[in-house]
Each structure stands twice: as C-alpha cells, then as structure tokens.
Structure 1
Amino acid sequence: MRANVVKRLLLALLVAPTLASAAGAALHLDRAPDVQGDKAALQNGARLFVNYCLNCHGASFVRYNRMTELGLTEEQIRDNLMFTADKVGEPMRVAARSTDQKQWFGAAPPDLSLVARARASGDGSGADWLYTYLRSFYRDPQRPTGWNNTIFPNVGMPHALWQLQGEQVLDHESNHLQLATPGELSTTDYDKQVADLVGFLVWAGEPAAGFRRTLGYGVLAFLLVLFAVSYALKKEFWKDVKKN
C-alpha cells in the first residue's frame, strides 16, 4: 500500500512539469522594454499610474517619498502625484474604501505593489505579462464592463487606458486584434506609454533593486581586486619557499 502511494507521488512529480509546460504553451507574451535605467521613463510611469490606476488600485508597499529615488523632489511629488495622501511619507493607497469597491465591482481590485513579481512565470517575466496584458484589451459587448482581454479571458477590469489606445476588436477567425477606433496616441506611442507604466510597476515591486545591483557589481569588483592581490602575495611567498 505504502509502495503504491510512493509510486504515485513520484509519477505526479515527473508529470507535473510536463503538464505545466503544456498548459502555458498557448500563452504568447511580448517582450517588455527594459526602462529601469531611464529615470524619465519611470517618472512618466509614475504619472500614468497615479492618473489611470490609483483610482482603483493601490501600491501600498511604496511610500510617495520613495519616488525621490527616481529623480523627483518631494515638492514635485506633492504637487503632481499626491492625490490620495496628505504627507509625502504615506503609502500609495487607493482613495476608495475597500467596502465601497466590493459593492461597486463585486471584489476589491488588488494592490499592485508586487504585481510584476507575482505575474512572473515560465512564459516570461512579470513585466512581459503586464506589457502584453495592457495592450490586449478589446471590445466585448458580452462582458459587464464592455471589455475583454486575450491573455486574461473574461477579465473583470475595464480598459483604463482605452482613450489613449483606442478601441480594438477581436477577429475570432484569426484570433488577432484589430484597431477599430484610433485613440489619442499612435500604436507606437501607446506602446511606449505602457512600457513606462510597466517599468514603474517593476520598480515599485522592488525599489532597492537598482542599489542591490550596483552593490553587487561593487562587491564583485572588490573580490577580483582581492583575488589579484592574494595571488600576487602567494607568488611572492612561494618564491622564497622554493629558493630555500
């Protein structure tokens, strides 16, 4: 009996990766541009988040004053980005109460502080998922909000950026999206705005990532110098030993 249980567990462990791979094979994600080194892009992403996302979604793990790391002053943050708080040290919480959101939407929209990290999978990074998702909305009169999404079928969220992108429709025969009504931006400009917004969400998930990366390079450089000095000392020491 026990041997059969062990065999089944081993079989499940062997088959699980195959099933997971097969389940995700149909999901195609576009590669998100990496803007982590571009402070102007991250500042623009913060502006987009505050104006289009913070009405429903918070980023409560990030305090407003952390955005000074993006090159903004506290005065700029207060004047242009703080609509849901009184002090610059407060978290980026959503203005609406969760009880009201549950009544309006059926469920409170999730906090987006860690969404880029949470969406990472074998199909691509969390940035790739978000970048594709925000460009994959289309009109669907069957949905309560009037919107659907090709990589998140039957999504409950409406297309918050539709005025910028325009309205897409899904060609069910080819399963491709087509722009039916142009928005305020061209496709190229809209993709750039989405890349900046996604870049900000990636940064929000780990604001210290840039510092840790820089620190890591510094540590590696120190170790290389230490290795060179240690090797030189070793050669000098063994030179005298060999002579004796």
Structure 2
Amino acid sequence: MYHIASEETYHHGEIIFKEGSSGDWIYVVQSGSVEISKTIQGHKYVIEVLETGDIFGEIDFLGGTERIATARVIGETTVGIIDREFLDQEFNKISEDFRLILVAAAHRIKKMTDRATEFTARKEPRVSKVLPVMFKFGDTLIKGYLGNMSTWGLFIQTDNPLKPGHKFSLKLNLPGIKETLTLKCEVVWTRIRPEGPQRPNGMGIKFRDIDMKDYRILKQYIKEQGTDEKEQ
C-alpha cells in the first residue's frame, strides 16, 4: 500500500524520534506498537498508541516543523520508512493552492495538539495564593497579583495584561522558600475586563521552561499548600 524505502526494527522502550528534534520522515507501523506522547513540565502525556498499518510523522513532513511529539516503541516493533523521493514527487504533483491548504492544516493540527495537551496538563493540582508579582517586559513594568498556580502555569491578575504569545522571564519568591524560582513564561490567554468577582482581569500563563530543581520546589510547595479547583 505504501512505497517503503527501508525498514527498521526497535526493541521495547527505544525511541524512534524525540519531540523537538528535526526530521520529516514518514513511518508506517509494520508490526508491534508505537506510543506517541508529549512532555509538559516533566510530565509525559500519551496522545495515542499506534498499531500495525498506522502512519506517523506526517504532520512534520507536511508542515516542515520540528517533531511535535515523541515516538517510542512498545515491545519488539518494526516500522517502514516511506520513500521520501516518492513523497516529494507526489506532493509536487498537486496544485500550489492545495499544497498550501495541506501545510496550513498541518500547522493547525499541531497547534490543536499542543493546546489539547496543555489543557490536560491543567488538570494537575493547583493552589490559589495571592502574592504580589512584578516584572519587566521590555521597557514596561508589569505589576499584579499571582494566583491559581500549578506546575504547568499560573494566573496573574493585572490591569495591564500582555497579549497572547508574549514571552518573558519571571523571578518568583514563594513564602517560606529561600530559593528564587526562575520561570520562562508565555501568555496563553488574556482577560481585559473582569467577569465577576471570581474572574478578574489578567492573563493566563504557561511555563515554557523550568529548571528541574525549581520544578521540584514548586511541586512540593503546591502539595504542602493544598489544592484549589477554582478556575480563574
């Protein structure tokens, strides 16, 4: 059914490719199983387990992006690599408009996968702790209050929320913790106007990167404070 250029056999637990790595080969499972997963703040979230006949890696080929997930084999597994020259020839046969549609669809699927995984990560324990926070974004000094915090991200109540997609670094000092946590953040959503007493104006933040030591400190702090399931 597919034009297979070569085959590779992996043992249980071996990685075919890692999330964030380069590469645009498309694979098909010949035998065995392949687990597709994403990692957020040190936690693995399994997206799908592929069986014989399933293909993977196609989003990276179409979108020209880095690998959007990790592919790990379960048990003894053989995968076929679909002939790249054949794929390029077939892809170039279709109209430019349709190629653009496919590329746009691949990027949208990647974004939807990222958002869905992040939403799952938000189900982790959170704690509402009102703490003053202040940081600089360019030449602008942002002041507000921190709350609804998890190992995934936090909410900052502020009259001057940044736009979604803006990235910044945050130095966080938690009560009773000597170490200052360094968090690389990105704005996911913004609320310009309050929507009732429990939904003030501000911005939802996800952690783009956090040192493992800081992550453990934050996780322990949240555990000791107890959890709060309220949304902000």
- The TM-score normalised by the length of structure 1 is 0.23
Higher normalized strand content (fraction of residues): 2
Task: Name the larger-Rg structure.
Answer: 1
Higher normalized helix content (fraction of residues): 1
